[in-house]
Structure formats: C-alpha cells, structure tokens
Amino acid sequence: MATRAAGTRITGSPRAAGGKVKRPLAKLRNIPALPTRSTFLSKRYVNSQQLSTAHPRAHIIVHFQQAVSVLRIHDGSEIQGGSTSAVVYFTQEYEDGPVSIKGEIIGLGFEPNVERGWHIHESGDLSNGCASAGLHFNPEGKNHGAPDDDERHVGDLGNLQIDENGDAYIDNEVINDKISLNGRKSVIGRTLVIHLGTDDLGKGGQADSLTVGASGGRLACGIIGAIPNS
C-alpha cells in the first residue's frame, strides 16, 4: 500500500492559515444554515403557516387564494373505478376573507333527491382510504353543528343537496365563514369527505350527533391541495 511521505499536505482539506479546520459558521454557532432557493422550491408545504415557519431566519409568507379537492370512492386503501367528475374548488380572495366553495360532484352513485353530509376532516392521510382522515377539523374544540351555528366545527359544511340524477352542484357559496386557506384554520392538506347519510346538524339527539351529525359511513373523499397563485 502506498504511504504518504512525511510533511505532505492532503489537498481539499478545509484548513485555514495556522492549520485550524474551517467549519461553517452555522455549525459553530449551532444555527441551521439558510436553505437555498432550490431547497425551498423542491419542498411541498401544506399551508402558509408551515411555509413561514419552515426556517427560523426565513421571512417568506405565501397567502394561498385557491385550493382544490378531487373526490374518489375508496374501499380501504384502494380507489374505486368508474366514470366520475367530483371536483371542488375553494377560493379566498384575501387572507382573512371568507372562503367560497364551487364544484360539481357527478358519478358517485348517490341516491337521487336526498341530502348527504359532507365535512372537512383533520388529516390528509388516505392510507386506509377515507377511514384514516381523522375526525372533523375542529381546532376550537366545539360540538358539531350546522354551518351557520355559533357552536360548530370549522370543518362542518352541512349537507349536499343531491339532484334527481344523483349528482350535486355547488355554485360559489360561502358555506362556512370559519374555514380559511391560510393560518391556523387552513384546510389545505386536510380531507374533504362525503358521507353515506344525512347530517342531522347536531340536533338529532343521537349518540354521535354532537360529534359527526350521525352522518353514517364515509363514501368518498379527497385531500385539499393548494393551487399556486398566478
């Protein structure tokens, strides 16, 4: 094996004058180095609060104005096939303003002329289909209620009106003025769920009326994702 002659300097070693090893200033002071622009662009952030706190020295705040959820029927972790067009859009024109909801839910096989409960659930986990999306999004710790009740979950959207063809259309409505696309009440990264039953809006007196509105099982769901601002 070849040996290095005495006094030979190894090139590429990070040494300054005097033979001391140079270390990045951030490591010496136990401060994480600022990420590069490419690092920021390569990450996915689920809401503006997470983005603004991604690094202690970063002052980047993004206020999302639009989000979308594409709903599918799940059987456990498997997405069921079939011809569906179930897309719901969320729009918030300014940071603290109301969120309007618009969309069409076609081909999910609803019974015609009924109402079906739908809510925003706390988790964006669909590893076990809609069942793993958690409880209703409820950062204020309130009971379940109607979308215009004072006592309600942030994620309470009430009932979808299903038409004679078994489809539903939402025409740019402000359904719940508590939801947001930004900050602590952001619904981005959470899951929109449609249930098999009618939501009793917390007034049915059932064992689960004040938690889920006795809405029954979960038929279809989709994670709410941010749409980049134009």
Active-site amino acid positions: 119, 121, 136, 144, 153, 156, 195, 218
Instruction: Count CB atoms within 10 A of the CB of residue 209.
Output: 19
Half-sphere exposure of 54 (CA within 13 A, CB side): 22
Apex 33 CA angle, 29 and 35, nearest 5: 170
Rounded to a whole number of angstroms, the CA Rg of the chain reads 25
Render 16-56 in DSSP notation, one character per residue.
-TTSPBP--HHHHTT-PPPPPHHHHHHS--SSHHHHHTSST
Joined together, the tokens standing for residue 32 give 């994480």
Sign of CA dihedral 168, 169, 174, 178: positive
For the chain, the residue count is 230
d(CA 30, CA 204): 56
